[in-house]
Amino acid sequence: MPNPTCAILIIGDEILTGRTREGNAHHLAGELVKAGFDLRQIRVISDDHPTIVAAVRELSGTHDHLFTSGGIGPTHDDITADAVAEAFGRSIGIRDDARAILAAHYAARGVEFTEARLRMARIPEGASLIDNPVSGAPGFSIGNCHVMAGVPNIFQAMVAGLLPRLAGGQPLLSRNWQMMVAEAAIADALRDLAAAHPAVSFGSYPFVTEGQYGTNLVARSTEPAALDAAFAALQDAFPEGR
């Protein structure tokens, strides 16, 4: 059975304006590979209600899982929860369980539970909560869409709680073989290797270090035996690598 397919949707003008370099998708991509999910797309869009609704509908409809990051805080530009509710045709309002989590979190820290903070208890009808061990305010899953915070340490904590609850597949395994030759010099042999090992995908990634051209060859597969055979053939073909 093929691994479940996924998309990641990053919601945030701060990425599109070049202010912030995206890191949440990179983190989640690495976790998904290990847990046996097939990440097909990452998309970054702006904090715009109709844009979020359309992207959530499209990506949740074409993938087994959709993970979102960003836009669930207390301010006026945090509109993700409302947009996701609309995308799934659900109502949204303050939910008692989310309010209780926030109330306990703030009480334990002597922080006032203000109207703005209460906004973070707005959860679509029928969603299940995603635990936020960092700052209290929960994420949520609705259908196949998992809505998480954009602040990196909170996002990572939510991912750590969520992923074990989802049924993954076979981890994508990879082996790396580095050579100090230009990519073009190994292109023909690599094409032949790829054709001979259809269960393995081969990627080649050129780099320059201290003025020397080099290439990283990466073999990837969910089948350990196929990857072993392909990697042995790769080492035979390019004995100068390491």
Among residues 126, 133, 206, 224, the one that binds a second copy under rule CB under 8 A: 206
Task: Closer to a second copy by CB, 83 or 172: give it.
Answer: 172
Among residues 63, 95, 117, 146, the one that binds a second copy under rule CB under 8 A: 117
Candidates 43-51, 122-130, 161-169, 232-240 — which segment interacts with a second copy by CB under 8 A? Answer: 43-51
Task: Closer to a second copy by CB, 130 or 173: give it.
Answer: 173
Does residue 25 interact with a second copy by CB under 8 A? yes
Does residue 175 interact with a second copy by CB under 8 A? no
φ and ψ at residue 65, rounded to 5 degrees: -140, 145
Q: Quickly tell me which residue has 């990634």 as its tokens.
A: 205
For the chain, the straight-line distance linking the first and the last C-alpha, in angstroms and rounded, comes to 33
Helices (H) and strands (E) in the chain, counts: 9, 11
Task: Closer to a second copy by CB, 75 or 91: give it.
Answer: 75
Q: Where are the alpha helices (DSSP H) in the chain?
A: 13-16, 24-35, 49-62, 80-87, 96-109, 115-118, 152-162, 187-196, 224-237
What gap in Å lies between CA 42 and CA 237, rounded to an integer? 34
Name residue 214's beta-bridge partners.
207
Does residue 23 interact with a second copy by CB under 8 A? yes
What gap in Å lies between CA 146 and CA 158, rounded to an integer? 10
What gap in Å lies between CA 12 and CA 203, rounded to an integer? 30
Q: What is the pattern of x (binds a second copy, CB under 8 A) and - over residues 207-236? A: xx---------x-x----------------
Does residue 5 interact with a second copy by CB under 8 A? no
Q: Is 167 exposed, middle or buried (0-12, 13-18, 19+ CB in 10 A)?
A: exposed
- DSSP conformation class of 78: -
Q: Report how many residues bind a second copy under the rule CB under 8 A.
A: 65
Does residue 181 interact with a second copy by CB under 8 A? no
Among residues 100, 104, 107, 116, the one that binds a second copy under rule CB under 8 A: 116
φ and ψ at residue 138, rounded to 5 degrees: -80, 155
Does residue 73 interact with a second copy by CB under 8 A? yes
Could you say which residues in the range 145-164 bind a second copy, by CB under 8 A? 151, 153
Least gap, CB of 41 to a second copy (angstroms):
6
Among residues 1, 2, 17, 209, the one that binds a second copy under rule CB under 8 A: 17
Candidates 25-33, 61-69, 84-92, 234-242 — which segment interacts with a second copy by CB under 8 A? Answer: 25-33
- Strand-strand pairing, 65-69 and 5-11: parallel
Binding site for a second copy (CB under 8 A): 13-23, 25-27, 29-33, 39-47, 51, 73-77, 111, 114-117, 119-120, 151, 153, 172, 174, 182-188, 190-191, 194, 201-208, 218, 220
